[in-house]
Amino acid sequence: MVYRRTHQVVKRLAARRSAILSAARDAAAAGGMAAVQIAPVAVRANVAAGTVYRYFPSKAELISELITEVSRDELSAIRRAAEAAPGPSSALAAAVTTIAVHVLSQRKLAWGILAEPVDVDVTASRLASRRDISGELAMRIDAAVRAGHLPAQDTALAATALLGALHEALVGPLAPSNLDDPIKLRDAVQTVTLLALRAVGVMDARARGLVVQATTPAKALVGA
Amino acid sequence: MVYRRTHQVVKRLAARRSAILSAARDAAAAGGMAAVQIAPVAVRANVAAGTVYRYFPSKAELISELITEVSRDELSAIRRAAEAAPGPSSALAAAVTTIAVHVLSQRKLAWGILAEPVDVDVTASRLASRRDISGELAMRIDAAVRAGHLPAQDTALAATALLGALHEALVGPLAPSNLDDPIKLRDAVQTVTLLALRAVGVMDARARGLVVQATTPAKALVGA
DNA sequence: TGAAGAAGTGAACAACTATTCAGACTGAAT
DNA sequence: ATTCAGTCTGAATAGTTGTTCACTTCTTCA
């Protein structure tokens, strides 16, 4: 009488759940958050609309999890890049460049995660996403300050400002439209990285060096 | 047989139109764009819902005009502040400070104009608003570059980045929450102005001077 | 004053999608 | 083989607001 989920079923359920999330992510990457609607997502995931609700209590929850997932990936990429750098200033430059490159290579998705109007309330997960990434940046800035490479400052505010600058310059409505050209893209990444580093107090000459250094390993990504 | 609008009627119509716009602005200032709904706005303006449609073809148009209006006011304030400054670098500092102060003193409205999700399409007017203000900033940066105070750079991208930094740091979801305290508020304005100036290449020491200079006349506004 | 056009009204309508749920289906246990 | 909990389905529902329109009220002018 006791119905117990067999291993196979457990696996299928998990697969389905992640298929739905993937479908949502694909939709967002292709058409922004506006394209993340229950019915189309269900079709992409090969399930019925109602089934989505067996895995996610609401559309808000689905999108929130999507945001969380993307954000987690982003954060770990930033950490990886920063930790591979030789010193605190390089790490900061690497973190900034990584954000810029990632955001550019998935512009629609980034815009959806960050700022695109959505009909359900996802402020909480957006806030968390920003807090995490901004926090990571703040730590890097702080490390550079402690190393004596930067003047003392309100690192949290600075990190937030940097994020805003990157987003607005690269995926906001005023972002240059020619960023499909890899060369223009690299230039844009370098320009905003330079701005960001100078903003927190890196001397111009040194900043230019760091930018070149940080952009080099990211080239592959930019190309992708 | 020819019905002609008498002067009185023309005036009443104009008054009503601006009453509706004002009502929309009040609503946005109080509760963000989400609060700009036809029925409540109509009530505030002392007209019926249907009447709104005798003045604005759609909600999108109403909000677009609201954005345009606020943006125009903002732009002229920035120009005034910049033109009162003694030199190009001061002008840039004044422009940045003005944006920061204005945005902070009307946070909900600013958020609504800039980035809050809206159920109708207002991208065009938001884009225009950003373009105008970013363009003004770009001109100021350019003037400082030509005066030899700043290194050569992509001024349009820089201006966009600065705007993004200001907005995110001051009205974004990560903005400090204690900005109702006038002292904290002034500190925040100074901090972001400093960041912005350094970002475009003003030397740290000089930047600090400009910030103090630019903040002084803005004190009254900050208090308001 | 009355005829006719303009302006105003607000209840009803429309459109859009998230969400539900009664019934069909699957697969585990006996 | 049979039972039955669990799972899936997708058409129907529901809630939300912008928008319309038949009707009323106001204003102009002969």
Distance in Å, alpha carbon of B164 to nearest chain A alpha carbon = 4
Q: What is the pLDDT of residue A218?
A: 58
Question: What share of chain B in percent tops pLDDT 70?
Answer: 95
pLDDT of residue A224: 41
Checking each nucleotide's C1' against the CA of A120, the nearest proves to be C18
Mean pLDDT over all residues of chain B? 91
What is residue B28's predicted lDDT score, i.e. its pLDDT? 96
Find the range with the poorest average confidence among A38-52, A203-217, B121-135.
Answer: A203-217
B56-77 residue pLDDT tens:
999 999 999 999 999 999 999 9
Distances in Å between the Cα of A95 and the Cα atoms of A132, A189, B6, B41, B158 are 13, 12, 66, 46, 19
Q: What pLDDT does A82 receive?
A: 96
d(C-alpha B121, C-alpha B61), whole Å: 9
Query: What whole-number distance in Å separates Cα of residue A180 and Cα of residue B8?
Result: 57
- Answer whether residue B95 shows pLDDT above 70: yes
Per-residue CA distances from B204 to A93, A144, B103, B185, B201 (Å):
19, 16, 25, 21, 9
pLDDT in tens, A98-150: 999 999 999 999 999 998 888 898 999 999 999 999 999 999 999 999 999 99
Burial B26-36 (b: 16+ CB within 10 A, else e): bbbbeebbebb
Q: C1' nearest to CA of B38: which nucleotide?
A: D18
- The per-residue pLDDT for B115 is 87
Q: A59-83 and A107-114 helices cross at what angle (nearest 10)?
A: 120
pLDDT tens-digit map of B19-61: 999 999 999 999 999 999 999 999 999 999 999 999 999 999 9
Tokens (6 digits) for A175: 């972002």
Mean pLDDT of chain A: 91
Tell which A residues from 102 to 121 touch B, by Cβ distance under 8 Å.
115-119
Residue B29 is which amino acid? A
Q: What is the pLDDT of residue B224?
A: 41
Question: What's the alpha-carbon Rg for chain B, to the nearest Å?
Answer: 20
Q: Do B168 and A169 touch (CB under 8 A)?
A: no
pLDDT score, position B179:
83
Considering the entire predicted model, what is its pTM? 0.90
User: Are B182 and B222 within 8 A, CB to CB?
Assistant: yes
Per-residue model confidence as pLDDT tens digits over A149-205? 999 999 999 999 999 999 999 998 898 888 888 888 999 999 999 999 999 999 877
Statement: residue A62 has pLDDT above 70: yes
Contact B78, B136 (CB under 8 A): yes
Residue of chain A with shortest Cα separation from B203: A203
* Confidence label for B221 from pLDDT (cuts 50, 70 and 90): low
How far apart, in whole angstroms, are the C-alpha atoms of residue A47 and residue A126?
A: 27
For chain A, what percent of residues have pLDDT higher than 70?
A: 95
Is the pLDDT confidence value at A223 over 50? no
A121 beta carbon to strand C: under 7 Å = no
Q: Chain B: give the shortest CA distance to residue A158, in Å.
A: 7
Asked if residues A90 and A97 have their Cβ atoms less than 8 Å apart, the reply is no
